[in-house]
């Protein structure tokens, strides 16, 4: 990751331009290449016209001061002062028009580059591993992409559309001065331009650090705000609004200081530039004034020099701004390229085949795994789920149950051992083909902020309306959806927060039903449901998992009685295994968990009966505390 240490120096500008070049001159897009060529033609023509503008001004002045001797090239009728004034303005307008033409021709090319790179970054984000995303803050990530994309636009626009033409303009101006007024003027202009550029670069470099601090604090404040709003409910539970506000305000205070400095330093930069240019201008004008007095130059020459210098000051002014923008763009792009450089943790082996899933038998063979090398989570887990059978994994919280599901899905690679599907190591096959055969109902379902229909159809985007309905019925959610005023078109809110936990899970089940994979992975799929609904869903799940290889992770043991094998996981090892009956008979960990849960269920049952008998909530609450 070499880019991490690269600061935004001219080396990285050239590297960035080099990296961007294929996007500016895209193979197979003759239309875009033609645009680049035409834009360049207009650019050059516009600059030649631009140099002509002060000439018309000079001729007009000379003919107004009745000193027309210096206009040798034009036919007599054009020499009328009024015609010259008109011509002067027409040429100015023509030059403006050419510039606009160039910009609009090039806009398409630039935007195409922006889109391509934004697309690449987006795709790369999805290629990166779960670990990366758990560690990064999504708010910060989206800002980096947003700024980086803008940065590309800046670089493309300012280097190609402004810097190159400005250099051409300097060269033309120098030639005009040298030919018409002698080298001494060229020296004055060159020194001024050099000083101006040097000062601008120096001051802008100084401002970059300030600017970075401003960006960092901006990102920081933004992430805090998003995080705080995502945790809206938690904030309320703990009455911590004031604390959240203070935390946010602290970041904003940092931003305030940095932003203020950014503006004051900009003031100094602009002032310094003004002083340098003013000095150069004074020298050139005085030289010209003396020559007019001495009779070696006309008044027209005097205004010509003034006009040419004023004209030059515009791109110069711009070059300061452009330098700042390019540096800024590089800072932003740097971050985005860093992201693009982050290697994906889990990658397909070169030439990985597709998984040939025949029956969907799953096997874990002495699997060792740790998220963090210092803390092993799975310490040699072996089990197998024969094709079409159901194996349940139970055990205390934090034992590593959900980890097993993430490993089967290959969100992480294991340290040693092997995970096989139909005898093929999942590291040898493409991730796409692996994930296509596994249906996952995760422990925490997060939904897209769209309609219920969209979220269900996510399981198989080309599913028909009838298929969606049938899946919803199987998942026991159709009744609920039909009761909603907007039915399947109801929005579920951000992350699906407008649905209850149980409803979200049923949506997740429905979309997995639509996917219809040979292997099913259910993580606590019924944990958020009351006993009544759970039984209904259980029936649905039984139907769905019939004939499918199923791995169930459950807290509620009552849901796994009928599993072909139950594995009790404790501390990353298999503590016990067997059928429900044999485990009960063994009187071990499973049996004690079972007893405890039965007591809890009975208590719940007593409570339910009490609630039905009592009509007064107060009494119920008293009884609850008795229980
Ligand atoms: N991304 C992660 N990085 C580091 N540690 C993790 C990560 N995810 C989980 N862990 C740790 O791994 C252990 C096993 O987690 P896992 O989610 O597999 O537990 P579980 O058995 O599913 O528990 P529960 O029944 O509460 O869902 C936990 O101690 C957890 O803190
Ligand atoms: Mg879990």
Cβ-contact 539, 547 below 8 angstroms = no
Would you state the pLDDT for residue 3? 34
What is the model's pLDDT at position 195? 93
Ligand 1 pocket, 156 CB below 6 A?
no
Output the pLDDT for position 422: 93
Whether residue 213 contacts residue 333, with contact meaning beta carbons closer than 8 Å, is answered with no
Q: Range with the lowest mean pLDDT among 297-306, 369-378, 492-501, 615-624?
A: 615-624
Residue ranges and CATH numbers for the domains of the chain are: 11-341 (1.20.1560.10), 362-588 (3.40.50.300)
**Percentage of the chain surpassing pLDDT 90?**
30
Alpha carbon distances (Å) from 362 to 358, 368, 457: 11, 16, 27
State the pLDDT at residue 361: 92
Distance, CA of 316 to CA of 276 (rounded, Å):
11
Determine the average pLDDT of the residues in 235-253: 90
On the question of pLDDT at 621 being above 90, the answer is no
- Among protein residues, the one whose CA lies closest to atom 5 of ligand 1: 371
pLDDT at 66: 64
Q: Is 130 helix (H, G, I), strand (E, B) or coil?
A: helix
Nearest to 537 by CA among 510, 564, 515: 510
Look at residues 448, 512, 454 and name the one whose alpha carbon lies nearest to residue 488: 454
Q: pTM of whole model > 0.95? A: no
Separation of alpha carbons 45 and 168, rounded Å:
11
Q: What pLDDT sits at residue 626?
A: 44
Residues linked to residue 134 through DSSP beta bridges, in sequence order: none
Residue 74's pLDDT band, with cuts at 50, 70 and 90, is low
Nearest to 525 by CA among 511, 515, 517: 511
431 has a pLDDT exceeding 50: yes
Q: Is the pLDDT of residue 111 over 60?
A: yes
325 versus 243: the higher-pLDDT residue is 243
Predicted local distance difference test score (pLDDT) of residue 426: 93
Is residue 135 lining ligand 1, measured as CB closer than 6 Å? no
CA-to-CA distance for 95 and 333, rounded, in angstroms? 33
Kindly state if the Cβ of 373 falls inside 6 Å of ligand 1: no
pLDDT for res 283? 94
- Ligand 1 near 403 CB (within 6 A): yes
Which pLDDT belongs to residue 6? 35
Counting ligand 1 atoms within 8 A of each CB, the residue from 345, 369, 401 with the most, and so the one to mutate, is: 401
Distance of CA 347 to the CA centre of its chain: 21
Q: Name the closest-CA residue to atom 7, ligand 1.
A: 371
pLDDT band of 528, cuts 50, 70, 90: low
**Predicted local confidence at residue 529, as pLDDT:** 63
pLDDT value of residue 77:
57
Cβ burial of 567 (10 Å; 0-12, 13-18, 19+) is buried
- The confidence band for 451, taking pLDDT boundaries of 50, 70 and 90, is very high
C-beta 372 within 6 A of ligand 1: yes
In the reported structure, the alpha carbon of residue 566 is separated from the centroid of ligand 2 by a whole-number distance in angstroms of 16
Tell me 3's DSSP state. Answer: G
The SS3 of residue 344 is coil
Look at residue 109 and tell me whether its pLDDT is greater than 60. yes
Helix ranges (H only) for 238-367 are 241-294, 299-341
Q: Which of 26-35, 332-341, 352-361, 404-413 has the highest mean pLDDT?
A: 404-413
Q: How far is ligand 2, taken at its centre, from the CA of residue 399, in Å?
A: 8
Characterize 130-162 residue by residue with b for buried, 16 or more Cβ atoms within 10 angstroms of its Cβ, and e for exposed. Answer: eebeeebbebbbebbbebbbbbbbbbbbbbbbb
Q: What's residue 79's pLDDT?
A: 62
pLDDT digits 0-9 by tens, 152-173 = 888 877 877 778 788 888 888 8
Q: 249 to each of 144, 229, 546, how far by Cα in Å?
A: 22, 15, 56
CA 204 to ligand 2 centroid distance, Å = 52
72-76, 180-184, 254-258, 466-470: which range is least confident on average?
72-76
**Dist. CA 396 → ligand 2 center (Å):** 9
- Count CA atoms within 13 Å of residue 523 on its CB side: 19
- Region 176-183: mean pLDDT is 88
Other CB atoms within 10 A of residue 415 CB: 12
**pLDDT, the chain, mean:** 84
Which residues does 547 contact at the CB level (< 8 Å), separation at least 6?
388
Phi and psi (nearest 5°) for 440? Answer: -120, 125
C-alpha to C-alpha distances, 126 to 19, 246, 346, nearest whole angstrom: 22, 34, 12
Q: What is the pLDDT of residues 311-344, one digit of tens each?
A: 888 888 777 778 878 877 888 888 888 888 888 8
- Left, alpha or beta for 398 (phi > 0: left; psi -120 to 50: alpha)? left
Mean pLDDT of all residues in 61-72: 64
Closest-lying ligand to the alpha carbon of 373? Answer: 1
Ligand 1 atom with the shortest distance to the CA of 130: 1
CB 408, CB 549: distance < 8 Å: no
CB 363 within 8 A of CB 519: no
DSSP of 168-201: HHHHHHHHHHHHHH-HHHHHHHHHHHHHHHHHHH
**Residue 614, pLDDT above cutoff 70:** no
Q: Is the CB of 527 under 6 A from ligand 1?
A: no
**Please, are residues 375 and 398 in contact by the beta-carbon 8 Å criterion?**
no
Going by C-alpha positions, the residue among 339, 9, 320, 15 that lies closest to residue 146 is: 339
Instruction: Give the number of the ligand closest to the Cα of residue 378.
Output: 1
User: What confidence category does residue 10 fall into, taking pLDDT thresholds of 50, 70 and 90?
Assistant: low
**What ligand has the least distance to the C-alpha of 135?**
1
3-class state of residue 363 by DSSP: strand
Q: Is the dihedral of CA 496, 501, 503, 507 positive or negative?
A: positive
Question: CA 512 to CA 79: how far, in whole Å?
Answer: 84
State how far the Cα of 303 lies from the Cα of 53, in Å rounded to an integer: 12
Contact criterion met (CB below 8 Å) for 577 and 566: yes
CB contact at 8 A, 503 and 528: no
User: pLDDT (tens digit, 9 = 90+) per residue, 211-235?
Assistant: 888 888 888 888 888 888 888 888 8
Q: Is 398 in the pocket of ligand 1 (CB under 6 A)?
A: yes
């Amino acid at each position: 990751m070499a880019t991490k240490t690269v600061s935004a120096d001219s080396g990285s500008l050239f590297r960035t331009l080099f990296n961007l070049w294929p996007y500016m001159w895209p193979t197979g897009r003759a239309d875009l290449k033609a645009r680049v060529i035409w834009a360049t033609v207009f650019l050059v023509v516009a600059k030649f016209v631009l140099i002509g503008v002060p000439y018309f001004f000079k001729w007009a002045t000379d003919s107004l001061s009745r000193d027309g001797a210096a206009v040798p090239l034009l036919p007599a009728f054009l020499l009328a002062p009024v015609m010259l004034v008109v011509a002067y303005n027409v040429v100015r307008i023509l030059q403006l028009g050419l510039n606009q033409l160039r910009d609009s021709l090039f806009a398409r090319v630039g935007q195409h580059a922006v889109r391509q790179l934004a697309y690449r970054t987006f795709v790369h984000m999805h290629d990166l591993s779960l670990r990366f995303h758990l560690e990064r803050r999504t708010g910060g990530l989206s800002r980096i992409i947003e700024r980086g994309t803008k940065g590309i636009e800046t670089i493309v626009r300012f280097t190609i559309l402004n810097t190159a033409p400005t250099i051409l303009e300097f060269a033309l101006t120098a030639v005009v001065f040298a030919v018409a007024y002698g080298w001494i003027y060229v020296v004055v202009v060159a020194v001024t331009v050099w000083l101006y550029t040097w000062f601008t670069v120096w001051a802008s470099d100084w401002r970059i650090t300030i600017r970075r601090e401003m960006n960092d604090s901006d990102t920081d404040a933004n992430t805090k705000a998003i995080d705080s709003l995502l945790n809206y409910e938690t904030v309320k539970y703990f009455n911590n609004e004031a604390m959240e506000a203070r935390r946010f305000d602290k970041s904003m205070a940092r931003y305030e200081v940095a932003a203020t400095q950014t503006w004051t330093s900009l003031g100094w930069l602009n002032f310094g530039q003004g002083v340098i240019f003013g000095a150069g201008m004074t020298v050139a004008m005085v030289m010209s004034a003396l020559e007019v007095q001495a009779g070696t130059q006309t008044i027209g020459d005097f205004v010509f020099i003034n006009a040419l210098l004023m004209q030059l000051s515009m791109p110069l002014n711009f070059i300061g701004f452009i330098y700042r923008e390019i540096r800024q763009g590089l800072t932003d792009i740097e971050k985005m390229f860093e992201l693009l450089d982050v290697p994906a943790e889990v990658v397909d082996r070169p030439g990985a085949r597709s998984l040939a899933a025949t029956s969907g038998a799953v096997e874990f063979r002495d699997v060792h795994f740790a998220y963090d090398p210092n803390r092993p989570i799975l310490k040699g887990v072996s089990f197998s789920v024969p094709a079409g059978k159901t194996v349940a994994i139970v055990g205390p919280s934090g034992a590593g149950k959900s980890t097993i599901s993430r490993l089967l899905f290959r969100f992480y690679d294991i340290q040693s051992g092997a995970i096989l599907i139909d005898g093929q190591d999942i590291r040898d096959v493409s991730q796409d083909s692996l994930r296509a055969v596994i249906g996952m109902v995760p422990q925490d379902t997060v939904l897209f902020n769209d309609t219920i229909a969209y979220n269900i159809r996510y399981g198989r985007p080309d599913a028909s309306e009838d298929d969606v309905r049938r899946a919803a019925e199987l998942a026991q959610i159709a009744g609920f959806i039909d009761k909603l005023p907007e039915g399947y078109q109801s929005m579920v809110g951000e992350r699906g927060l407008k649905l209850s936990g149980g409803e979200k899970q049923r949506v997740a089940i429905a979309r997995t039903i639509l996917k219809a994979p040979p292997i099913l992975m259910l993580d606590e799929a019924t944990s958020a449901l009351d006993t009544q609904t759970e039984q209904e869903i259980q029936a649905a799940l039984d139907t769905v998992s019939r004939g499918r290889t199923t791995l169930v992770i459950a807290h509620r043991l009552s849901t796994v009685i009928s599993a072909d094998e139950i594995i009790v996981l404790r501390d990353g090892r298999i503590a016990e295994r067997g059928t429900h009956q044999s485990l009960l008979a063994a009187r071990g960990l499973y049996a004690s968990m079972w007893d405890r849960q039965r007591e809890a269920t009975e208590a719940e049952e007593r409570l339910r009966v009490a609630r039905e008998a009592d009509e007064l909530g107060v009494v119920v609450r008293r009884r609850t505390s008795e229980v």
